Amino acid sequence: MRFYQQQHEFYCGVDLHARSMHVCIVDHAGQTKVHKNIDATPDRFLPLIRPYREGLVVAAECMFAWYWLADLCAVEGIPFVLGHALYMKAIHGGKAKNDRIDSQKIALLVKGGMLPVAYAYPKAMRATRDLLRRRNKLVHTRAEALAHIQNTVSQYNLPPLAKKLTFAANREGVAERFTDTSVRRMVASDLALIGHIDEQLKGLELYLVRHAKVDDPQAYHLLQTIPGVGKVLALILLYEMHDAGRFNDQRHFVSYCRLVRPCHESAGKKSAGKGHKIGNAHLRWAFGEAACLMLREVPAAQTYVARLEKQHGKAKAISILAARIARTAWLMLKRKEAFDATQFLN
């Protein structure tokens, strides 16, 4: 957990919503200068903070509508801090909660150096990252439709499908296997959805690869030197990591990837922590997938996991391999070096 601890003359806490925002400005002595609910527009926000522009810092909780406020502060030259939503909830939870209280608490947290900081992803690559996440959502929808067809075949006790439906050529005649017209129509709609998503994914992946070769071609190439990491996984790693330098060391990066088990300790007693969902879910999936694919290609990795499996079990052994891949990826981007198989498992 990192805190914003820089000192300013004025501190602005914003409880931001899609259409409105509650703004609270306090000075260095803790005196409230502004406490007002306004429309969430630049035309209302900028005049409100104008008397306190010199020495002002703006802080807001990380939620879906923070992009425009961060970009506005960047254009206006105002320091902006994005608060980590889960950490903030743990710190300033209280009996009463409303927009007025929340905005004041955010201002006082940043004033006291106790605002937990989230990463405000820069504007240049943010839209492409969001498009990549949308592509992943389409992949999940496609997988759900494929699974639904398989389940429907089992539900009506039909012979199993001989070929995988992931390939378009194998989908012909699948709907006709069902005698009931409603079921046939249902399966046909699934097949039509899968075909449409396939067309969308093809165009999206071509677009994303072209952008990656413009945004950071060296990092995109280096990531693909890791066994098991292809074009799509390299895209996810590139845009979700963005900058290896924003992590102090390998431990912080591996923790950010949800590859470290949370641990709470008090009075010499240790227990499993509750923060297993704090971090980047996309990187957790990507490195887990990379570990499974590496096991298909690298015999040394198979031997390594087999040794760990005897002590920890199969699931944890693969997680340990995924964490090692994450540390390696961070070092590769930090040092601008390609994957070295001789040093990977040493």
> Are 13 and 24 contacting, i.e. CB atoms less than 8 angstroms apart?
yes
Domain shared by 109 and 14, yes or no: yes
Domain shared by 15 and 89, yes or no: yes
The yes-or-no verdict on residue 248 having pLDDT over 70 is yes
Work out how many domains the chain is built from and give that number.
3
> Are 79 and 8 contacting, i.e. CB atoms less than 8 angstroms apart?
yes
Domain shared by 68 and 160, yes or no: no
Domain shared by 188 and 255, yes or no: no
**In which band, very low, low, confident or very high, does the pLDDT at 92 lie, cut at 50, 70 and 90?**
low
Domain shared by 240 and 330, yes or no: yes
Residues belonging to the chain: 346
The yes-or-no verdict on residue 20 having pLDDT over 80 is yes
**In which band, very low, low, confident or very high, does the pLDDT at 93 lie, cut at 50, 70 and 90?**
low
Provide mean pLDDT across the span 238-262: 91
* Strand, coil or helix: 118: coil
Contacts of 147 (CB under 8 A, 6+ apart): none
Query: In terms of residue numbers, what domain contains 190?
Result: 125-215
Residue 233's nearest CA partner among 142, 326, 151 is 326
The answer to whether residue 269 is domain-embedded is no
The yes-or-no verdict on residue 146 having pLDDT over 90 is yes
Domain shared by 235 and 338, yes or no: yes
Domain shared by 130 and 112, yes or no: no
Per-chain mean pLDDT for the chain: 92
Domain shared by 204 and 101, yes or no: no
The answer to whether residue 244 is domain-embedded is yes
> Are 170 and 197 contacting, i.e. CB atoms less than 8 angstroms apart?
no
CA distance 223 to 203: 22
The answer to whether residue 108 is domain-embedded is yes
pTM, whole model, 2 decimals? 0.89
Provide mean pLDDT across the span 104-117: 93
Provide mean pLDDT across the span 301-323: 93
The answer to whether residue 159 is domain-embedded is yes
The yes-or-no verdict on residue 316 having pLDDT over 90 is yes
pLDDT at 169: 92
pLDDT at 12: 97
The answer to whether residue 313 is domain-embedded is yes
The yes-or-no verdict on residue 267 having pLDDT over 80 is no
pLDDT at 140: 96
Question: Which of 93-97, 169-173, 217-221, 302-306 has the weakest average pLDDT?
Answer: 93-97
Pairing of strands 269-272, 115-116: unpaired
Provide mean pLDDT across the span 28-48: 95
CA distance 219 to 234: 9
> Are 209 and 231 contacting, i.e. CB atoms less than 8 angstroms apart?
yes
The yes-or-no verdict on residue 305 having pLDDT over 90 is yes
CA distance 322 to 288: 5
**In which band, very low, low, confident or very high, does the pLDDT at 46 lie, cut at 50, 70 and 90?**
very high
Provide mean pLDDT across the span 99-108: 92
Distances (CA, A) of 259 to 2, 99, 286, 306, 323: 19, 35, 11, 19, 6
C-alpha angle 340-343-345 in degrees, rounded to nearest 5: 115
The answer to whether residue 226 is domain-embedded is no
> Are 24 and 34 contacting, i.e. CB atoms less than 8 angstroms apart?
yes
Backbone torsions φ then ψ of 227, nearest 5 degrees: -60, 130
Amino acid identity, residue 240? Answer: E
The answer to whether residue 223 is domain-embedded is no
Domain shared by 33 and 93, yes or no: yes
> Are 257 and 326 contacting, i.e. CB atoms less than 8 angstroms apart?
yes
> Are 141 and 46 contacting, i.e. CB atoms less than 8 angstroms apart?
no
Mind listing the pLDDT tens digit for each residue in 269-298? 777 666 677 889 999 999 999 999 999 989
Provide mean pLDDT across the span 29-40: 94
Residue 31 belongs to domain with CATH number = 3.30.420.10
Buried b (16+ CB within 10 A) or exposed e, 131-145: ebeebeeeeeebeeb
The yes-or-no verdict on residue 313 having pLDDT over 90 is yes
Q: Which of 75, 99, 116 is the last residue of a domain?
A: 116
Instruction: Retrieve residue 317's tokens.
Output: 């052994």
Residue 166's nearest CA partner among 150, 179, 180, 177 is 150
pLDDT at 275: 67
Phi-psi region of 8 (alpha: psi -120 to 50; beta: other; left: phi over 0): beta
- Tell me the three-class secondary structure of 121-135, residue by residue: CCHHHHHHHHHHHHH
Domain shared by 131 and 163, yes or no: yes
The yes-or-no verdict on residue 64 having pLDDT over 70 is yes
Q: Which of 98, 116, 134 is the last residue of a domain?
A: 116
Domain shared by 184 and 105, yes or no: no
Domain shared by 153 and 176, yes or no: yes
pLDDT at 345: 80
CA distance 188 to 149: 9
Backbone torsions φ then ψ of 82, nearest 5 degrees: -100, 120
Higher pLDDT, 273 or 14: 14
- Could you tell me what percent of the chain has a pLDDT over 90? 86
**In which band, very low, low, confident or very high, does the pLDDT at 96 lie, cut at 50, 70 and 90?**
confident
> Are 255 and 279 contacting, i.e. CB atoms less than 8 angstroms apart?
yes
Higher pLDDT, 261 or 338: 338
Higher pLDDT, 268 or 156: 156
The answer to whether residue 295 is domain-embedded is yes
Q: Which of 116, 141, 163 is the last residue of a domain?
A: 116
Contacts of 280 (CB under 8 A, 6+ apart): 240, 256, 257, 258
Beta bridge partners of 36: 23
